[in-house]
Amino acid sequence: MGILVVDDDTGTINALRASLMSHGYQVWVAKDGSQALGMLSGLKKNRSRVDVMLTDLRMPGMDGLELIRQSRRKHPELAIVLMTAFGGDHLNQEAQLLGFVYLEKPFKPERLVEIIREQPIHGGSLGSVLEGESHQVSNKKGIVAV
């Protein structure tokens, strides 16, 4: 399974890459939304398989929500996990509209791997996830229980 990690923090990128690779995932990294969009298109042309995009919310230039909006237009099958320390009702609404999962920081690497494994690959992701809570979120595509 291929994962694109998008974050402007080098330490976060390195930690996520190491953790995900230790679980057998192929990992690509981008430092911002523009680079991520270019990589998604380039990897698709090269027939490399990106199943999940893991992105930070707050980044310079294009934020994570805009990256998700633009990614959905060209790559609707992509499962997306948004990482943020800034969750809330607004983000719940966006998650339902755009079909992504979000994970509140700080989180344990094992929790991230669980969430990635739960994603419906090549069908887009559903709902939202709040670290440490169990709930159901419904949207047009279905219901996700986490």
How high is the pLDDT of residue 27?
96
CA 135 to chain centre: 19
Distance, in Å, from the CA atom of 33 to the CA atom of 50, rounded to the nearest integer, reads 15
The DSSP element (H or E) to which 36 belongs, if any, is: helix 33-45
Mean pLDDT for 107-126 is: 75
How high is the pLDDT of residue 90?
85
Query: Which residues contact residue 34 at a Cβ distance below 8 angstroms, ignoring those fewer than 6 apart?
Result: 61, 62
Side chain identity at residue 106, one-letter code: P
To 10 degrees, what angle do helices 109-118 and 10-22 make? Answer: 60
Distance, in Å, from the CA atom of 3 to the CA atom of 81, rounded to the nearest integer, reads 10
> Which tokens in the block code for residue 123?
């069908």
| 63: pLDDT strictly greater than 90 | yes
How high is the pLDDT of residue 145?
26
Is there a contact between 120 and 79 (Cβ–Cβ < 8 Å)? yes
> Which tokens in the block code for residue 69?
């909006």
How high is the pLDDT of residue 43?
82
Q: What residues pair up with 133 in beta bridges, in sequence order?
A: none
CATH entry 3.40.50.2300 includes domain 2-145: yes
pTM: 0.80
Mean pLDDT for 69-91 is: 90
| 119: pLDDT strictly greater than 90 | no
> Which of 34, 79, 33 minimizes the C-alpha distance to 56?
33
Task: Give me the residue spans of the domains in the chain.
Answer: 2-145
Output the average pLDDT for the chain.
Answer: 82
pLDDT in tens, 18-49: 999 999 999 999 999 999 999 998 887 777 88
How high is the pLDDT of residue 49?
83
How high is the pLDDT of residue 20?
96
| 93: pLDDT strictly greater than 50 | yes
| 111: pLDDT strictly greater than 90 | yes
Q: How would you classify residue 124: left for phi > 0, otherwise alpha for psi between -120 and 50, otherwise beta? A: left
Highest mean pLDDT among 59-68, 86-95, 109-118, 121-130: 59-68
DSSP state of 113: H
